[in-house]
Chains A and B, each alone.
Chain A
């Protein structure tokens, strides 16, 4: 009985968080799907999104949700820049090259940001109230973040399936050589996809910053979560990532009711390896 009440308290929070994690993972898995690149600069970009909220809200007084728009635009531009500087040359090279190229971007961002912002934790003191469900209390910031996450996913879905650039992205995902033969400007499309991926990372970071304290290094943890979610939902399947995030959120909400919280990562990463082995296309993907 006690477990049930614990479950009821922590599960809704986990679910709401799961949607936000899903947006971060969507960025990672979009890039993976389109160009077979694991973006190891994902974590620092999530952190930059967090600091985006911090500077826009604390220093300039802009509402954090309104601030998402400039953060998204900057995230997109940053991603396009990273693509042309670091990824374009190694796009057809073995995996090690693109992994190390994006990791070097990670080091560059962390190095500069550490010098400028130090690694001490920051906090955005932002309150949207809370409401009582009887068995648990839900924070307004988390509910709004979850709703925005769902909207962002919807927007991405619309973009990929209803617009011409989206169609190009899907064509390049499917078969880059064939898409090029059909006249799709593949380099621009790859750059755009990378930009969209980093944009999603920045948005999720900006949302997380409204309810958790953060430092420049906290992105790394969300990057690892994004790997797990991406594999759960199927690498290269952006919309699946939202469901993957939901599963991870449920796990994070449910496990503490049955065992110590410190076991959560054991189960998460164990599950991650098992799913990679058994269903490399994700829980919803086609079987090999």
Chain B
């Protein structure tokens, strides 16, 4: 790696995830593993969303639909058809990607708030559909057969494996986000974000670029979904498509800084950390939602570029190492 300096920006995010993955192993604590799992999940989802939201400038309010849909499809093959977790992960990512491709062809024509509304509609429609879809268990959902865990050496082993796969997915999401950010394709997305019409004039094929950005941002959430339901042992429509979780992802991306590789990671850390603190503190636990809301409001009103965006703006040398 002669020109490793060019890729300085990926090192910090990768170190953060590696540290997070090693932390529970080093401290040998199950509760630390659970916290790290939640943060890694948030990193994987927020970094994926950032490809569409931060780079392309399209606000997906129902991004959790890919998590739920991919998770459902994957768990169906895992549980009912006896596929391995690896094959299920693949099929989950693939099905979310295909869903995004088909949806993208249709709804990415809408701009601004119309797109945001349409994504909410899609999430609710898919949720309501799955609620009626008998193959996936309808309103009851599916419960994992515990025999599935045996293949991986029992429940404890399977859960620990799920943790490392989640770390792998978070890493994959970050690498993907970074590769898009530094590629020519990513440059096209940034151009669309700034001015879609001008970008088209400059030769960016906007409909295709947007669709692929949507697909790329959907694949990993699908895999995260199946992994989470695998670990959880069951899935049902309300838990699979929570609209508020979509919005939490937006908050994370916004907190850390949209359109940057490091931003969603910082945002995921900060948001989950803050939530963890508020939920457990005696003083705030009853009104933790209000406190989170007030903090979000202050950030939206006064630091709209997020933490990383603010740092990049204030300290010019940082722009090199904080892509």
Most A CB within 10 A of own CB, among B57, B288, B297:
B297
Contact A276–B118 (Cβ < 8 Å):
yes
Contact A227–B59 (Cβ < 8 Å):
no
Q: Which residues of A contact B294 (CB under 8 A)?
A: 104, 108
Q: Which residues of A contact B121 (CB under 8 A)?
A: 227-228, 269, 272-273, 276
Q: In the complex the two chains form, what is the Cα distance from A97 to B61 in whole Å?
A: 13
Name the residue of chain A whose CB is nearest to the CB of B285. Answer: A115
What total of chain B residues lie within 8 Å of the partner, measured CB to CB? Answer: 44
Q: Which of the four size classes fits the interface of chain A?
A: 35 or more
Q: In the complex the two chains form, what is the Cα distance from A213 to B193 in whole Å?
A: 45
- Asked if A74 is at the interface (CB within 8 A of a chain B CB), the reply is no
Q: Is the interface of A mostly helix, strand, loop or mixed?
A: helix
Contact A107–B290 (Cβ < 8 Å):
yes
Do A97 and B128 form a contact, CB below 8 Å, given A104-B293, A114-B289? no
Cβ of A122 to closest chain B Cβ, rounded Å: 19
Q: Which residues of A contact B286 (CB under 8 A)?
A: 114-115
Contact B110–A107 (Cβ < 8 Å):
no
Q: In the complex the two chains form, what is the Cα distance from A260 to B132 in whole Å?
A: 9
Contact B297–A105 (Cβ < 8 Å):
yes
User: Using a CB-CB cutoff of 8 Å, which residues 244-263 of chain B contact chain A?
Assistant: 247, 250-251, 254, 258
Q: Which residues of B contact A231 (CB under 8 A)?
A: 117
User: Using a CB-CB cutoff of 8 Å, which residues 293-314 of chain B contact chain A?
Assistant: 293-294, 296-297, 300-301, 304
Q: In the complex the two chains form, what is the Cα distance from A105 to B301 in whole Å?
A: 12
- Asked if A101 is at the interface (CB within 8 A of a chain B CB), the reply is yes
Name the residue of chain A whose CB is nearest to the CB of B113. Answer: A95
Q: In the complex the two chains form, what is the Cα distance from A101 to B300 in whole Å?
A: 6
Cβ of B279 to closest chain A Cβ, rounded Å: 12
Q: Which residues of B contact A (CB under 8 A)?
A: 53, 57, 59, 61, 106-107, 109-110, 112-114, 116-118, 120-122, 124-125, 127-129, 131-132, 139, 247, 250-251, 254, 258, 286-294, 296-297, 300-301, 304
Q: Which residues of A contact B (CB under 8 A)?
A: 32, 36, 38, 85-86, 89-90, 93-97, 99-101, 103-112, 114-115, 224, 227-228, 231, 260, 262-263, 265-266, 268-270, 272-273, 276-277, 280
